[in-house]
Structure 1
């Protein structure tokens, strides 16, 4: 991960004002890139573009030349100028772009282009990135504070460049076809062309059953892959080149110093970095929504946004009858928080009947199988009902500020089990005891504890795992499972996703959580769930520049348990009831709902029940 960049200029208006930075737009893209001799039927591509209409309802555009077809759908936040519609051409006419996302620091970058005499015809960040690429090529990527996925076609060299943001906030999938490389913002869009095989991907499907989400670069289908987060690739003569990493989130954790620092220094540097990230992610002159829960993460964002002068801030909380008058009901605490900061507060109470009616649409919107996402879908549904187009999410706070219990528990677990292998007879006794526990509890993962809990990757797998590897033949069929089970080890799986782990236990947990659970589940779920309601979801706590600024301090976060550091970033303190409240998560009573709806397989647990329901739809060919 780059720590310094020559010529880099941060764009911020400070923390006491907001200034609109031009057009913001979230989009869906599709591209077919073949050889100049390639021919293809346009009628196979239009359905894929049409499929993304809910994601981006404001405009649609296409462009083609021999062997190339680019399509784009646009969700405009402010700028409705048709000159900003895509595909967009560079001033020189050589490059054409389809872009999904936002460049938060584009005003400063635009100023550089203007100073250099580059003619600009729109106020969009899309034009800025296109002209920067025309001058600097791929070297422009580390200069972007961003969430994005884009494809740029070079009409002269007849090759294309594709790239994705550091965390993978915005998706980009690709497949080889008879006509060339097909890329799109959604897996379903690729399938809708009718040119991509639906043959199953063993590793992708196993990842869903084992961990609750499909690990990139895999998908549910063998023929489709994700361009990995923080990677770019060249497409030449209808073939995708090997993806190259241009940013490494895992390395930020792995290389962070595991040293303590003066508490006052840590607080001040974190406060400064948070304010800069929030200023970059906010827009003005339009009401902005905020997911408001009973947790420190959203409470801290609320306080920081109010401190920064946000106007018309709308707090959105989801509540359920099943949680009423229990600790799991976040509405009362969220209401207290909203009153504390003077935020307009909206509580959307979701019932089982509403869930039953919405279930087909939820499953249709889910681009890849996941055991999560329902909560975000309902939260952004509430945002859309308030006629808001932008919402701020606190996703990523528990990873960055080390708030999960795993940050404390897993290092202790490894410390406890690691020496057992060196004691004669201890492992045999432990395997027998844990095997008995596995048989009598019905949870096969107990049987893995003696062998897996000795490494950080194995201990993490025991905590995050949904089903055990031994369950795979029954879940996905013996043939497909056999491809995964041969030589299976959690260390190898985690290694593929996270790379070599940090030596410090807490930093290793942060590295794993950021490159697995956050990357493969929370961020993809945030994208499909929000875009199904045509809502732009922004993530100021999932920001590569924020991680860069905090990286030297990550080892010192252990001085601030329970995300105290995040809570202390606000000048006006959070209410004590929020700081001292036990973490509940962003829960939903899906197990009870599915059971009441007569669905089978609900006895294993909420995530297991939802996994089985999702798989029924995917494997039944209903999507």
Structure 2
């Protein structure tokens, strides 16, 4: 796991690479790679790569980057892990390729040398890389199917810049700091910014499952090589012909196979362990597959002690049953407040989530871990969220009314007045009928942050209008219209919007802020193709019960059937009691007693970004 960055001059721009800019960008990502640093500038002076290294595979200097082929025709800077690199290496060796190292980076170079850009279809892992093809004078930038690892870029006036974080690009002092209105509106709608937007007009994120090629003349080709919609449909079709008993056996094997793949490392691999089935299963399988005791870290809060929200007692019981080396790290409100300043300073883009991941990542790093497995992804793939039940129920209940344009129009015109003037009404419910026309709009009301009609109470109308007009840029990547099953549509929405734009993005920048690689075995495109069809056809039982069934050790029924609580933090205490987070109180709309804490927290987060403060009401 690493930090990557670089500059490519194209289209006749031959002013020469500014090495200092590359170094400023690279070294702003020191925590992403404290084990080493590299810089390379091409002989022609038009291409430059930077790299910060967190050594996980091939710990010697043979794994240092940027890396080049011995022939000098290819150069790469790579962030991530290729879990099937050993299998790919053996296949390439059988075809005559010779390797100098055991690194997955060198496998990428040789695989591209063998089959070109189609190499991405053979990779299993999380990755973002930039590869310079000197023979064809073009740059290839690629991102993994799910978008676990990000790569951000700016392309202006013949200069293409890229980096692993938005803040890193800004550190080079060459990016315009104008706020993107669409990104600001997206954040208020969802609590995160939708791809390919970023908070800054001049920066985009390469969409998940895409490859961008740009040649010396500046000609670009953006190619999508993996589409979650297609994978869901294919899995659904294949699962329809398989008996439920056989389906469960295949599902268990697929889950074990994914965890095994994610254990590939030259350093110890630990886990995050909560009281949930996802992390318990990942931790248990990791222990079954490991030759030594696995270290598992649980986060607890003093404020939850003795309450149902306290996951520590159940986590201890799970850890004892699984036989892992377990540590519970307990945080208090005062300790968390001391961390919040560092958390907000490191925040790459605005988000309403992540402080829990920050605290448990810090604990994992303090315990000497460089790699941990997380249970993220199980709810999205197996229907663990309540949206898989509430959205279909809502649509069925309101479908007779949604056929009437007159009724919908009436609700549309009165919702803003109701939300603004009736303090006892939850604003999210004020246009319930109009927002329940289809799965996508119903998902907005169940999982959205601010409703569209609320945003004018938070930011200036001019920036709201400009933002709404440009939001369509993200809509094509989030479309679910071609997915056949309703279950599959909700899987895609949860995966594309909540998981990718928030959970995975926060996991990346937060883990890297602590020089910690967080792997997600349940976010794997091969596992999805093998599993989601069975889940959509109801052949895996109730929600996520297939997960603990994959373990050799049986978990007790009260653990398996424990109600889902989520990874909760006492955010309301901080908002109400800490002077540092009371800025929301100046906005009259946010003092509505029915406004949820996350909305107030979102306002406080935006206040940390100077360029947007003048637009806040």
- TM-score, reference length from structure 2: 0.91
Correspondences of 1:141-290 after superposition (within 5 Å)? 141-178=120-157, 180-237=159-216, 239=218, 241-255=220-234, 256-257=236-237, 259=240, 261-283=242-264, 286-290=267-271
Partner residue in 2 for 1:6: none
Are 1:618 and 2:601 an aligned pair? Answer: no
- 1:356 Cα shift? 1.8
> For 1:396 and 1:141, how far apart are their aligned partners in 2?
22
**1:437-487 superposed Cα distances (whole Å, 9 cap, x missing partner):** 634245433232111202100100001111121232343322210023459
> For 2:329 and 2:475, how far apart are their aligned partners in 1?
38
Partner residue in 1 for 2:597: 606
Structure 2 runs not aligned, ≥5 long: 586-590
> For 2:130 and 2:529, how far apart are their aligned partners in 1?
26
**Change beyond 3 A, Cα 1:407–1:324:** same
Are 1:32 and 2:7 an aligned pair? Answer: yes
**1:319-362 superposed Cα distances (whole Å, 9 cap, x missing partner):** 11111111111001100100111111111111122222211211
Partner residue in 2 for 1:593: 574
Q: 1:311 aligns with which of 281, 285, 292?
A: 292
CA contact (8 A) 1:403 1:561 kept: no
Partner residue in 2 for 1:464: 447
Partner residue in 2 for 1:348: 329
**Change beyond 3 A, Cα 1:240–1:374:** farther
Please state whether the residue corresponding to 1:563 is helix, strand or coil: coil
Deviation >6 Å, runs of 4+: 428-437
- 1:494 Cα shift? 5.3
CA contact (8 A) 1:52 1:189 kept: yes
Correspondences of 1:398-413 after superposition (within 5 Å)? 398-413=379-394
Structure 1 runs not aligned, ≥5 long: 1-25
Correspondences of 1:18-29 after superposition (within 5 Å)? 26-29=1-4
CA contact (8 A) 2:165 2:348 kept: yes
CA contact (8 A) 1:44 1:193 kept: yes
Partner residue in 2 for 1:58: 35
**1:350-377 superposed Cα distances (whole Å, 9 cap, x missing partner):** 1122222211211122111111111111
> For 1:176 and 1:331, how far apart are their aligned partners in 2?
48
Correspondences of 1:25-104 after superposition (within 5 Å)? 26-35=1-10, 37-65=14-42, 66-77=45-56, 79-104=58-83
CA contact (8 A) 1:227 1:243 kept: no
CA contact (8 A) 1:498 1:516 kept: no
CA contact (8 A) 1:300 1:566 kept: yes
Partner residue in 2 for 1:480: 463
CA contact (8 A) 2:480 2:492 kept: no
- 1:284 Cα shift? 6.2
- 1:119 Cα shift? 2.1
Please state whether the residue corresponding to 2:341 is helix, strand or coil: helix
| Deviating more after overlay: 103-112 vs 611-620 | 611-620
> For 2:467 and 2:94, how far apart are their aligned partners in 1?
55
> For 1:75 and 1:522, how far apart are their aligned partners in 2?
22
CA contact (8 A) 1:29 1:71 kept: yes
- 1:572 Cα shift? 2.1
Are 1:116 and 2:95 an aligned pair? Answer: yes
> For 1:433 and 1:578, how far apart are their aligned partners in 2?
46
> For 1:422 and 1:240, how far apart are their aligned partners in 2?
47
- 1:101 Cα shift? 0.5
Please state whether the residue corresponding to 2:372 is helix, strand or coil: strand
- 1:172 Cα shift? 0.2
> For 1:84 and 1:507, how far apart are their aligned partners in 2?
40
**Change beyond 3 A, Cα 1:493–1:469:** farther
CA contact (8 A) 1:103 1:145 kept: yes
- 1:251 Cα shift? 2.1
- TM-score, reference length from structure 1: 0.90
> For 1:486 and 1:533, how far apart are their aligned partners in 2?
38
| Deviating more after overlay: 78-87 vs 535-544 | 78-87
**Change beyond 3 A, Cα 1:556–1:457:** same
**1:483-529 superposed Cα distances (whole Å, 9 cap, x missing partner):** 2345989xx96554234252422221111111111111110011011
> For 1:116 and 1:69, how far apart are their aligned partners in 2?
31
> For 1:312 and 1:287, how far apart are their aligned partners in 2?
10
> For 1:487 and 1:451, how far apart are their aligned partners in 2?
22
**1:12-53 superposed Cα distances (whole Å, 9 cap, x missing partner):** xxxxxxxxxxxxxx1111010113723243222211111000
> For 2:391 and 2:612, how far apart are their aligned partners in 1?
39
**1:544-601 superposed Cα distances (whole Å, 9 cap, x missing partner):** 1111222442422365223112222223222212111110111111221232112222
Are 1:509 and 2:490 an aligned pair? Answer: yes
Partner residue in 2 for 1:9: none
Q: 2:272 aligns with which of 270, 291, 294?
A: 291
**1:242-281 superposed Cα distances (whole Å, 9 cap, x missing partner):** 4210111122224523848533112101001011111110
CA contact (8 A) 2:210 2:224 kept: yes
| Deviating more after overlay: 205-214 vs 76-85 | 76-85
